Every structure is written in structure tokens, then in C-alpha cells.
Structure 1
Amino acid sequence: MYFRKECGTGGTATLSGYPGTRTQDTPWEGLGCKTFTGSIALATDVAWGAFGIYDIEEITGSFVAHDSPQLKDVSFRNLRKLETLSLKNPDIGAFLDVRRLEELENLEWSQLWYSGGMGWRINITTISSFVIEETFITTLTADQDWDASYSSFRSLKTADDIRIETNPQMGTISLPELTSVTNSLIIGYNSILDHTYFPALEWAGSITLRGNGLNIHPASAARLDLPILTEVKGLFNVSDNPRMEEISLPALQKVDGAVLLEDNPTLRTIFFPSLETISGDVLIRGNNLSSFEFPALKSVGGSFTIHSLVEGFNCSNYENIRPLDIVQREAVSGTPHIRSMLNKHLGYAKLSVTT
């Protein structure tokens, strides 16, 4: 087979056609080296239903399989280190076996149109970029209908960036051991997503949930659970989620950016019991709020605006919001209204609560 003696040249080895000298499922078995220097790419005309490399423990570059519709099964049984695993539009219907993979910098899965259940085991604990988009994957953890020994991403603890978007069969998103996301955590446009749960997440650079749950069953509701999250170092944004009814952040103490909770039409209550500091603006509108509570809030760096059209909206907790020096109370057409303004050199910071 190609590059049998060289173990890589530092560039990209592109494999195409049918491996006539090997069996279809083990084209590189017996290569004889532990490290492949460079990247491996499968051409669009590969005729293998399965691809396996069983000797190599490290690929210094990437493994790329884009637009390879014949590919059903990928196996790297002894691979421990890889820079990028990039799969786009293979029709994987069996297994992605990287059971010994310990180091991976970038994961890119796009248009992964597998039929039935796919099992995989990726035991990495840290990653730079984690992207799963436009796939039919149902879960990031073990699929109970298949081999439970395939533990998927259960071991992932830290990431720089996570983006999980436009996966129409993904009803639950959970990474049970994830403790931190350095930059951004983005979850968007997953049409049946009803539960987002990161039980070990302590802090993140920013968190965005947008456009999820469009096709959830009418009798179901969506919720966000981050039970031990204490800090968001940038934006916290939960917007345009039509079935979002519950946001649970019992331990959150500090948001260093803005807080945006917009256009979640089934969200009725907001309760952030431990939140003390918000460095940016707060904008809460387009929700079906009947009450909100920020009992520990001491400081808001920007403006604070909350808007609800629900009759009987609970205003009893407004007294807990004192981010600025001057509080003025006004009754506008019998509707509770609080506004606070503090001159900050060239401008104003405003606190307004309206119904």
C-alpha cells in the first residue's frame, strides 16, 4: 500500500481507490512503525467500507475523511495521539474505534449521516476545539441501545472551545466530567434538544444557547442544568429557545460580561440565588416571566433591563437590585417601574425594570 516503508514524510498522504494488496478493512495493518509523520486523508473515491490502522500510535497531523460515502467503519485500535480528527459526510453506520486515543487537539464532525446507532469510544480528557454540527448523532454519551462499553466523550474534562449545532436527533447534551471551557461553549439549533446538562462544569469563557428545541414534543419542556458553575468570564446568553422552561444555575456567582435572556417564550421564572456580580449589561425580555429573583446581586457594570407582559408579574424582588447609587421609583399607569441613573463621566448607566 502507499507509503508502506516511509511512515510519513511530513506532508499529507492521500489515499484513493481500492487497496488491492490489502483486505478492505485493514489497509495499513503491518505498516511497521509507531509514528506517522504528517497527515492522512481519504479521497472521495475510496471504495472501502471500512478503514483501519492498527500499528500506529501517533499521527503528527490530521486524519481527514470528507465526502467519502462508502466509508462505514473507521478503526485506529492503538492510536494514542492525533492532532485533528476531521470527518465530513461519511455514511458511518458501524463504529468509530479510537479506544486508546489520549491526546487530540481538534475534533471536527460535520454531516455525519450514519444510519442506525453508531458506537465510538474517545477517552480524551482535554481538547482545544470540539465541533459537532449537522450530524444525526443522538447523544454524546453511551447509547444504551448499543454497546455500553463505548463510552464516547465521558472522560472529557477541559476544552478551549466547544460548538454543538444543528444536530436534529440530539435530545440530550451532557459531558459529565467537563470542568472548564476556556473560550466559548456554544449549543445551537438542535431541534429536539430538551436537556443540556454539565454536572461538573465550574467555569467557562462564555456560554451561548440559541435556537434549540424547535421540534420538541408539545408535552415536553427544555431545561439547562449547570449545578456547580460559579463563573462565566464573558457573555452568558440563552436566547430563542422556544421550549426552554427552566434555567438552573444555583452556584453561579459572577458573570464578567453581559447576561442576555431573550425570546424564550415558555420561560416563566428566573432564579439565580448566588449571583453577586455582573460586569456587563443585563437584558431580559421576550420571555413569559411571572417572577425573577437575584437575591444576592450586588453589582451590575452596565444597564439592567427586564420586561414582561404577564399580568401579575412578581415585582417583590426589585429591592434586591441595587447596582447603582440612586434609585428613583415611579408609577407609570399603575405599572411598577424602577429606574436608576448614575452619571459616569461622559455617559449614564441605567437600571430599568418595566412590565
Structure 2
Amino acid sequence: MLFKQAVLSVGITLCILQTGVYGACNGDIKINSQGDLDQLKLCKTYGGNIAVEQTAMAELKLQGVEVLQGDLTISSNDGLQRISFPSLQGINGQLRLLNNKALNTLEMPQLTALRNFELSVLPALNEVKFPAGLNQVEQFSMADTTVARLEGLKMSGIKDLSITNNIYLKQLAIGNLTKISGSLTVSANSPNLNVDFNSIQAMSVGTFRNLAGISLKELRQVSGDISFITNTFTTLELPAITGVAGTLTIADNIRLNNLSLPSLSHLGGALSVSGNNELTVVDAFPRLEEVDGTLDIVGNFDQVDLPYLADVRGGLNVQTSSSHFSCEAINQLKKGVIKGNLFACKASVAKPKSGLRTGKGFDDESSAVSALSYSSQGGLFFGLCFTIFYILC
């Protein structure tokens, strides 16, 4: 019912918007100067794509336009320092700011809805704010900037969210976000970045790298793969997660000493826990019963506890450098629990090897990750309802 209402809302909105698109307020346009932009200031709604590329402009101000039915691309303007959209409320298309190396000010006081938002290669931009609150967006990407503050993200759902290579970004929080229908990627930002995604309940694919801290207290279901790799946090707790349809990877987190997934019962792909050398006890999965892929636990641990494990359809690889570890309990799993042909349990190993990095067995390091995983990655599409309720045409 809600989906039908959303589709109807989009249809009505687009119908209303079309009434304001006519004459000089319609058509694709290439901007070379502020004078070109000023020709649009009487258009509350503009229908068409706007491109500002390789100009000599130092400032850009889009006045008058409240709704854009098309894409707005601003790229490769070497002297551009300031961008302002004082009236812009919604974009039924993309907003792309690319390779504007002098840009230091971005003003979007009224913007609340758009389909795709992309910032890339903006080495002078220190902050991105949505004062009115960005409530609706399908894809959001911010990469290769010096942004230290990202504020005003208010959406409850999104398809794809990517925050990468923003070396000054130390805090990231989206309080209303509950669902990621595509991929969520946070990687290679400030090494001090702490991420608060406590409201997220479901996602398709999650990739988390180089984080100082992460909070996902409400995450319950992952319909694809999720990975935590080369982070510096000491604790990773996912208290609510019950199932992962794909592969769960927790690897090379050099300070991790507390890992807890107390509700996880099923993995549709593999479980890979490797290279977390401060994790001396692997007891994070007290309710894990089924693993449809391979079970791969490698590190410096003294103990592995999997009390409810009943079915592993792939192989098993447990290797540790500790001399205090006993394979006795693990070897019992070979009797009916492990269905795959590959089985290895080793202690006192000088260089423990992850089985998921092999293609020819557990002793070959040359092949790609997930060669032994039976994971199938599902994708969900989360439709964007792009609605502006009040428009003066």
C-alpha cells in the first residue's frame, strides 16, 4: 500500500512540475558565465540538464530555480571557489561536483531532495551541510575531499552510500537511516573516523575499512556480504544481527580484542575471521547454527567456541599461532557438521593462512578471497519517492 502511494505521489509531483517547464525554462544548457545562469532566475522549475564545465568562473550562483528536472554537473572549473543554490529545493536527477580544486564554499540552504549526489576531487572543500535536511536521496557519494564536517543527512532509506578517501572526516552519523537497499561503503577516511549508524536495521552490502570506531546496534539483517577490514577499533559489537545472506569477513583489525555477535544464527556465505591478532578468544558466535559456505578462523587465538554449530556446507580452516590451542573440539565437527571436503585445524603455526584466500587448498596463498564461499549476493531495490509538496510555478 505504501509503495502504491509513493508511486502515485511521484506521478502527481512530476505532473505538477511539468506545468512550470516551458520556453526559456526548458532544455539542456551549457553555462560559461554567471550571466548565462542569470537567464534562468525567473524559472522556479527548470526542465533540462545544466552543465558548468571548464569555465573561468570564480563564483557560481543559481538564483530563482527551486526545482530542477534534470542533472546539474559542475566539473573541472579550476578557479571556482564558491557555489550557491539559495532557492533550490529538489533535483529530479543528479547533482555532481567533480574536480573543482579551488572550491571552498558550497551553500545549499533549501535542498531537501534529489536522486543522486556526487562529490569527487574537491581538495579545498572543508564542509558539506544541508541546513533544511536532506530527506530523500537514492545514491550519495563523497570521495577525495578534505571535508571534515558532513551535516544534515536526514534520509530514512537510501540505495547506495559511499564515503571514501576524505582524510579529515572524523565523525559520521545519520540518525534517521534505517535501510540500505544497495551498498554501504566507508573506507580510507581519517584514521580517527568514528561512525554512528545505530538506526540502520537492514542493508544489502556493507564494507567498513580504516575506522577508529563503529556502532551498528540495531542492524538485524544483511542480504549480501558485510566486511570489517583493517580497522583500528578494539571492540566490534553487533548485538541485534540474526542473519547474513552472504559472507561475513572480519579481517586484519590489529587492535580488535572484543568481538560479539550474540544473536547471529545463520550465514548464507562464509565466515572469515582472520588476522585479528589481539583477539585471543573467539567466542563471538554463541548462537551460530548454520554456515552455507566455508568456516575460516585464523589468527593468534587460544580458544574457539561454537557451541550451537550444527551445519557447515563448505569446508573448515582453523589455524592459530598459539601453542595453547587444542584442535580436539574442532576435530569433532568433522563428524557430520562439516560437509565440505577441505578440513584443516592447526596450532603453533608460524604463519597461519586464511583458507578463503586459496583456490587450491588451504596452503596456497595466491588466489582471491572468497574462492571457497558458496555466497550468493542478493540485491534489493529501494525506490526513491521524490516529492516536493509545494511548488510555485
Question: Under TM normalisation by the shorter chain, which class is it?
Answer: 0.7 to 0.9
Residue of structure 2 in register with 1:51 after alignment:
60
Q: In the alignment, is residue 319 of structure 1 matched against residue 307 of structure 2?
A: yes
Between the aligned partners of 2:186 and 2:23, the Cα distance in structure 1 is 44
Q: Normalising by the residue count of structure 1, what TM-score does the alignment of the two structures yield? A: 0.79
Deviation track 1:112-165 (CA, whole Å, cap 9, x = no partner) reads: 222555654362223221110001111323xxxxxxxxxx32x12211011111
1:15 aligned residue (20, 23, 31): 31
Counterpart of 1:192, as a letter, is: P
Q: In the alignment, is residue 348 of structure 1 matched against residue 340 of structure 2?
A: yes
Residue of structure 2 in register with 1:279 after alignment:
268
Moved more, 49-58 or 265-274: 49-58
Residue of structure 1 in register with 2:292 after alignment:
301
Counterpart of 1:69, as a letter, is: D
Between the aligned partners of 2:271 and 2:345, the Cα distance in structure 1 is 11
Normalized per residue, the structure richer in strand is 1
Q: In the alignment, is residue 97 of structure 1 matched against residue 107 of structure 2?
A: yes
Between the aligned partners of 1:130 and 1:118, the Cα distance in structure 2 is 12
Between the aligned partners of 1:253 and 1:44, the Cα distance in structure 2 is 50
Q: In the alignment, is residue 37 of structure 1 matched against residue 47 of structure 2?
A: yes
* Change beyond 3 A, Cα 1:103–1:202: same
Q: Give the percent of matched residue pairs that are identical in Structure 1 and Structure 2.
A: 22
What do you get for the CA RMSD once the two structures are aligned?
3.0
Counterpart of 1:156, as a letter, is: M
- How far off is 1:110 after superposition? 0.4
CA contact (8 A) 1:63 1:86 kept: yes
Residue of structure 1 in register with 2:362 after alignment:
none
CA contact (8 A) 1:92 1:112 kept: yes
CA contact (8 A) 2:31 2:53 kept: yes
Counterpart of 2:73, as a letter, is: V
Between the aligned partners of 2:268 and 2:108, the Cα distance in structure 1 is 42
Between the aligned partners of 1:31 and 1:257, the Cα distance in structure 2 is 50
Residue of structure 2 in register with 1:110 after alignment:
120
Could you say what secondary structure the match of 2:307 adopts?
A: helix
In structure 1, runs of 5+ residues without a counterpart are 142-151, 214-221
- How far off is 1:58 after superposition? 1.4
Deviation track 1:160-201 (CA, whole Å, cap 9, x = no partner) reads: 011111111111222121111101101111142431210210
* Paired residue total: 314
Between the aligned partners of 2:51 and 2:256, the Cα distance in structure 1 is 46
CA contact (8 A) 1:342 1:348 kept: no
Tell me: higher relative CO, structure 1 or 2? Use CA pairs within 8 A at least 6 residues apart. Answer: 2
- How far off is 1:267 after superposition? 1.3
CA contact (8 A) 2:295 2:312 kept: no
Between the aligned partners of 1:16 and 1:86, the Cα distance in structure 2 is 17
Counterpart of 1:93, as a letter, is: N
* Change beyond 3 A, Cα 1:115–1:166: closer
CA contact (8 A) 2:25 2:40 kept: no
In structure 2, runs of 5+ residues without a counterpart are 1-21, 348-393
Between the aligned partners of 1:354 and 1:223, the Cα distance in structure 2 is 32
* Change beyond 3 A, Cα 1:18–1:104: closer
1:228 aligned residue (210, 218, 228): 218
- How far off is 1:30 after superposition? 6.9
* Change beyond 3 A, Cα 1:112–1:223: same
Q: Superposed, which structure 2 residues align to 1:157-176 within 5 Å?
A: 157-176=156-175
- How far off is 1:108 after superposition? 0.5
Normalized per residue, the structure richer in helix is 2
CA contact (8 A) 1:184 1:204 kept: yes
Between the aligned partners of 1:342 and 1:39, the Cα distance in structure 2 is 64
Q: In the alignment, is residue 74 of structure 1 matched against residue 74 of structure 2?
A: no
Counterpart of 2:254, as a letter, is: P
CA contact (8 A) 1:79 1:98 kept: yes
Q: In the alignment, is residue 84 of structure 1 matched against residue 105 of structure 2?
A: no
Q: Normalising by the residue count of structure 2, what TM-score does the alignment of the two structures yield? A: 0.72
Residue of structure 1 in register with 2:74 after alignment:
65
- How far off is 1:17 after superposition? 4.1
CA contact (8 A) 1:305 1:351 kept: no
Deviation track 1:47-73 (CA, whole Å, cap 9, x = no partner) reads: 2x3222232121111111111233222
CA contact (8 A) 1:36 1:59 kept: yes
* Change beyond 3 A, Cα 1:121–1:352: farther
